[in-house]
Structure formats: structure tokens, C-alpha cells
Amino acid sequence: MTGPGAAAAPGPPSAPSSGPPSGSQNGPPSAPSSGHRPAVPAEGRRALRSGAAACALAWRASPSALLVSLLASLVAGLLPAGTALLVSDLFDALTGAAGAGAPSGVPVRTCVLLIAASLGLALAPAFGEFTRARSSRAVRLRVQQELFDAVNRLPGLRRFEDPRFQDELRLAQQAGGIAPDLLVGSAFSSLQALLTVAGFLATLFVVNPALGALTLLLTLPLIRVQLAAGRRRAAVLRETMPRNRRQMFYGSLIADVDAVKEIRLFGLQDFFKQRARTELVAVAEAENRTDRQNLTRRLPALLLGVAVYGLGLVWAVRAAGEGALSIGQVSVCVAAVAGIQAGVGQLASTGAAAYQAAITFAHYRALGTVEPDLALPAVPSVPGRLGGTIEFQDVWFRYHEDAPWTLRGVDLTVPAGSVTALIGLNGAGKSTLVKLLCRLYDPGRGRILWDGVDIREFTPDAYRERIGAVFQDYCRYDLTAGENIGLGRLDHLQDADRIAGAARAAGVHARIDRLEGGYDAMLSRIFLPEGAGTGWGHSLSGGEWQRLAVARAFMRRDADLMILDEPSAGLDAAAEKEVHDSLRELRRGATSIIVSHRLAAVRDADRIVVLAEGRVTEEGTHATLMALGGRYAELFTLQAEGYQPDHRQQAHPEAQPYAEPHPHAAPGPAAVPAH
């Protein structure tokens, strides 16, 4: 603990000597280099693993829907070839190609089977579509749950302040929303197409093995080209994600309630519209280039397919003219070649879509494996009630490895039950110190001790249960008034008496009581109250929202540590005094950390700590620091001067500033006062 006066200024550490390792604790999570494209086999294996994971997710979400969809795909895939064979039998029976001794009942039986096949072809897609929609809804619910679980695994802030992680998170959200459904749908469509192609190939091999083999060989390039197209589309999606996020940000400003007033005032509508258009045009151009490349590479395979179809048709017609094929066999041959083409096209397109979805689904899977940004203890300790001190021991911190140090060797002791105020100019490190104290980050070097125990030995959730806070950048939740307060202690969210008591303590109960619906009133300008056909949500002033945030802190009156970060910002003088009186009651018996630029609000603190450039430069009571005549005394005097009367004007209210006579004015007996 430092004494009054200037603190020593040590240099930045060359290597951490204590605390967590410098890897994930001091820098943002690593991201793959965009300049290196992984080898196709490795990417293919990842795609297969992702596809299997997506199908497993769909199975967990709704196994019965998947089974029905599978059955529908099997039926729809096998029936086309069977229908073609039945049509061939019907033609041969009608033309007598089956022989004079053919039983007369063959056409009737064939017709009945054709009707049954037609019924199957009609019903299978309908049932498949119904069950796939049901599966899709179940998958969306499952994905949302798993996404929340994956993000909630990250207990700190570091990942969320890394733009690269934000890109990955957005890709994971997109992939999680569409990839499992697309993969499962593509898998069933591919299975259906594969069965159709296999059935037609079998019939074609019977009629002409050479034509069947040639048709099979020419399907492979098309499938390969389509899979490559899916890979390129996935790469474009990954590369353009930063632009997509910026475009979504600019677009969101159009309807943002807080932004609209400033956008209208400064006439920024066209500016942000153009910014959004620029990003969207760049994304569209990248996608267009990829689509042109895919089309160019696909055309040769498509033209070869048409050539094979033409060759098979010419051969079948000539063979029929020579009597080598019956009319039924010609119909089977023509239907088989056309069916194979259609099936291969479907197989290629669905396979490409599935491959693209599988590649992007890897981002969703990766989100669940991201290492937590805070060191989690193998065997956590349980934080007890604070009875001794909170200590900062040689704490260094920076937000990423290339950034300057925000805190530089902070040593500070906060006794239990005391009130400590943090003072300093913007950028001095006050908010960073509070974030570390809340364990939203871990120090790059040094330790923070809770009654002698490093707070990294506690789980973040258990540790934060001991803390209550009012932040300057508090949240305004689009929820009811009661919920906005009750969120401060979720286990008492339904405790109306405790919520009302917190509101009274914060001085906002009367305002809520005047709202239509009281504590059930919706505080939102973007959502209507649930179940309301008409009516609007309510709007509060900035000061009233501030009191609501204070009431949220009052829900944790039993907390050991109260952190008050500019708790009265935006309040008028009367409201500020009332809030500080309430906060004084709130923190009675608790250890308090107060951050404020209004020095009059903290002059009665037990200890005032002055931060400058990430270091503790002064420390003591108000009287001690004023006597020291340092930075605190300078800032306090500067603020106090704004409330002092102009003694010269008070003593001589009639006096006016003296005006020098004009240099070209005629001389007179006396100078004339300026009016």
C-alpha cells in the first residue's frame, strides 16, 4: 500500500513473474490466417466431421422427424426407376412385344402398380416436407440453446472485445441457424437422388452396359465441380464476414431508438445509407465473382451430360428401328438417361450445398471449444464474507499484447467495511481497475486477493455473487419495470416486496407507481406489452433509468462489495444528493469502491486514491490530500471554483469592464466607460 504523495514509476515487466501465463490472458484469441488455405483433403475431413455433428444435433433435436424424413426419401428415391420399368412393361404389353402368350391381366396389374407408385410419389414429398419443417423447428430451438451455452461458457470480456472473435461468433450464429437444417435436408435429398440414379443406372446397364458405364463416368466431374463450388462459397462467406457485420451495423442504426435522434439532427441518413451500400456492394461483387467462376467450371460437365443424353437417344432410336429394342425398352433407356442427368444434377447441387453448410458449421462447432478467457481453477475455493482486506499486488494489465499498459504495477489495499474512492482523469485506469475487481479480466501480472486468497481461485460466478454494482454504462432492458429491478437478484425476481423496497430506496417507486400497470409496465419503445392489442410501452428519462439501475443494485444489499461507477451521472443536483444519500444507506456495512468525477460526492470517503497513467499517485483522506497540495487538491479546487461567486462583481455590481478609447477618437477629459 502506497502512502501519500507520488508513487514510484516502475517500467513494464519483461515477463510475468506471477499470475496467469501470458497466452490467452494477455492477448486476444488466435485466429487462422486468411492468407493460407488448408489442403482440400483436410478440409474435406473437417466437412465430414461437421456434417456428422450437424446430423447428430438434428437427431438429438427430433429423432422421430428424422426417421419419417428418411423413410420418405427412400420411397421417393426408389419409385422413379420402378415407375419407368412399369411404364416399359405397360408399353410392351400394349404393343404385344411381350409375346402372343402374354396374359391379358398384365396391363391391369401394371396399371394398379403405376397408380400405387404415383400415390407414393405424391405422398412421399408431402410427408417429407412436413417432417423436415418439424425437424427444422426443433433444430432451431436446440441450436439457440447450445449457442447460449457456448457463449455463456466465456466468463470474461476479452473475447467479446476482439473483432476476430466477433466475426467467428457471427459465422457460428449463421451456421447454427441454417447449417443443421440444410445439411439434414441435403442429406435426405442426396440420398433420394442417389437412389434414383442407382435405380436408373441399373436399368440402363441391363439395356446397354457401355452407355451405362459412360453415363456413370461423366457424373463424377459434375459432382467434383459442385463440391468445389460449395467450398468456394464457404470461403467467400468467411472472407466477407467483416463487411457483412459492418453492413448490419449501419443498417441497424436506421431503427435504433437512441441513434435516430442524432442521425436526424445531423442529417446522417444518406451517410450511413451509403456506408451500408458500399459494404453490401463489395460483398455482392465477391459473391458474383465466385458465382461466375463456379458457372464457368460447371458448363463443360453440363455440356458433356447433354452430349451423353443425345448419344443415348440416337442409339435407342436406331436400335428400335432395327428391332433390337422394344418400345418399352426405348422408353426405359430415354427415361434412364434423363433421370440420371436430373438425379446427378440434384445430387451435385444438394451435395455442394451440404458441403458448404458443413464447412461453415465448423465455426459453430469451434465456438463450443473456445478456451475460456479467464483461468478457471481445477478445484475452486468458495469465497466467504469479506472480513479482512481486498489487495491489489503489483497489478499490470493491458487489453491486448500490442496495446500499451493500462495499469502499471498498482498496489492498493481496501479494508473491509471502508469506503474507497477512485479519482483520476479519463484514461487513468479507474474503469479497468473496476473490471479487474469484478473479474471480467485477469491481470497480466500481479494478484488481486480477497481476504488473502487470489480471486482466480474462485469460480467467476461464485465470486461475483459477493458483489453489487452500479455502472455508468448501465443497461436499459426492454422489460417490465419490476424485471428491470429484479434482475439484480434473479432468485428474488418474483419477490414483489423486495423489488418495491429496492425502488423506494433508490427513489423511483413513486414514478413506477404512476405508470399504467405499475411494476408490470413495459419499459420499451420498441416492444409492445405482451398480450396488448393496442397501447405502448413506457419511456423513462435518463435520470429515472439511472435510479432504476441503483434500485437493481439495492437488490444485492447483502453483498460484501459495492462498486459504484459514476452512480449519479446525468442527475440533477437534488436527485444526485438523494441518490448519494440512498447509496450511503446501501453501502452501510459493506466495502465500497466509488468512481466519480464529482469530487464533492467522495470527499467523505475513508480513503481517496488518485490514479494517473495506470499508477496510484496519491492516497489518503480528503484533508490529507488537500494539505498535500497535489493533483487531487488541484482538481478539487478547480471544481470548487465553478461554485464560487465573482467577488469583484459582488462587491461592485455597477462596475463594468474598462474600455480603451479608440486610437483615433478625440481626446477628452476622461475615458468613457463602454456600454
Q: Which three cell numbers stand for residue 52?
A: 456428422
Give the integer Cα–Cα distance in Å for 419 and 417: 7
Task: List, for residues 250-264, the tens digit of each pLDDT value.
Answer: 877 777 766 776 777
Supply the pLDDT for residue 569: 66
Supply the pLDDT for residue 643: 64
Q: What percent of the chain has pLDDT over 70?
A: 81
Work out the angle at residue 131's Cα, subtended by the Cα atoms of residues 126 and 135, and round it to the nearest 5 degrees: 150
DSSP calls for 61-124: H-HHHHHHHHHHHHHHHHHHHHHHHHHHHHHHHHHTTT-TT--TTHHHHHHHHHHHHHHHHHHH
Q: Which three cell numbers stand for residue 176?
A: 447454427
Least confident of 2-11, 89-98, 261-270, 326-335: 2-11
Better-scored residue on pLDDT, 120 or 469? 469
Give the integer Cα–Cα distance in Å for 270 and 253: 12
Give the integer Cα–Cα distance in Å for 571 and 542: 8
DSSP calls for 639-651: HHHTTS--HHHHH
Nearest to 90 by CA among 79, 76, 78, 102: 102
Give the integer Cα–Cα distance in Å for 383 and 465: 9
Better-scored residue on pLDDT, 13 or 424? 424
Q: Averaging pLDDT over each range in 111-120, 134-143, 213-222, 557-566, which range is the top one?
A: 557-566
Supply the pLDDT for residue 311: 74
Give the integer Cα–Cα distance in Å for 588 and 59: 55
Better-scored residue on pLDDT, 156 or 117? 156
Give the integer Cα–Cα distance in Å for 583 and 566: 12
The pLDDT of 320-343, averaged and rounded, is 74
Cα 363 from chain centroid? Answer: 12
Helix (H) or strand (E) holding 473: none
Write b or e for each residue in 312-333: b if 16 or more Cβ atoms lie within 10 A of its Cβ, otherwise e: beebbeebbeeeebbebbbbbb
Cβ–Cβ under 8 Å, residues 507 and 572? no
Supply the pLDDT for residue 92: 72
Supply the pLDDT for residue 85: 75
Task: pLDDT band for 166, please (50, 70, 90 cuts).
Answer: confident
Give the integer Cα–Cα distance in Å for 561 and 493: 21
Cβ–Cβ under 8 Å, residues 9 and 408? yes
Task: List, for residues 628-647, the tens digit of each pLDDT value.
Answer: 999 999 988 988 876 666 54
Task: List, for residues 429-441, the tens digit of each pLDDT value.
Answer: 998 999 999 999 9
Supply the pLDDT for residue 330: 75
* CATH 1.20.1560.10 is held by the domain 39-367: yes
Residue 17, pLDDT above cutoff 70: no
The pLDDT of 350-362, averaged and rounded, is 75
| Average pLDDT score over the chain | 77
Give the integer Cα–Cα distance in Å for 417 and 387: 8
Supply the pLDDT for residue 11: 46
Cα 323 from chain centroid? Answer: 68
Q: What percent of the chain has pLDDT over 90?
A: 20
Supply the pLDDT for residue 513: 92
Task: pLDDT band for 411, please (50, 70, 90 cuts).
Answer: very high
Cβ–Cβ under 8 Å, residues 165 and 29? yes
Three-state SS at 35: coil
Better-scored residue on pLDDT, 389 or 576? 389
How, if at all, do strands 453-454 and 445-450 pair?
antiparallel
Cβ–Cβ under 8 Å, residues 515 and 562? no
Task: pLDDT band for 668, please (50, 70, 90 cuts).
Answer: very low
Residue 25, pLDDT above cutoff 50: no
**Adjacency order of strands within the sheet including 467-470:** 467-470, 561-565, 591-595, 419-423, 607-612, 615-620
Cβ–Cβ under 8 Å, residues 336 and 84? yes
Task: List, for residues 116-152, the tens digit of each pLDDT value.
Answer: 877 877 777 777 778 777 777 888 788 888 888 888 8
Better-scored residue on pLDDT, 344 or 657? 344
Task: pLDDT band for 581, please (50, 70, 90 cuts).
Answer: confident
What is the 8-class DSSP label of residue 601? G
Region of residue 70 (left: phi > 0; alpha: psi -120 to 50; beta: else): alpha
Residue 442, pLDDT above cutoff 90: yes
Better-scored residue on pLDDT, 492 or 44? 492
Nearest to 470 by CA among 374, 581, 555: 555
The pLDDT of 10-31, averaged and rounded, is 40
Better-scored residue on pLDDT, 366 or 673? 366
Domain locations in the chain as residue ranges: 39-367
Supply the pLDDT for residue 404: 92
Better-scored residue on pLDDT, 492 or 361? 492
The pLDDT of 221-247, averaged and rounded, is 78
Contacts of 195 by beta carbon, 8 Å cutoff, 6+ apart = 73, 74, 77, 78
338 exposed, middle or buried (CB, 10 Å; 0-12, 13-18, 19+)?
middle
Name the residue with cell 459412360: 214
Cβ of 235: how many Cβ atoms within 10 Å?
17
Q: Whole-structure pTM over 0.75, yes or no?
A: no
Residue 483, pLDDT above cutoff 60: yes
Better-scored residue on pLDDT, 496 or 665? 496
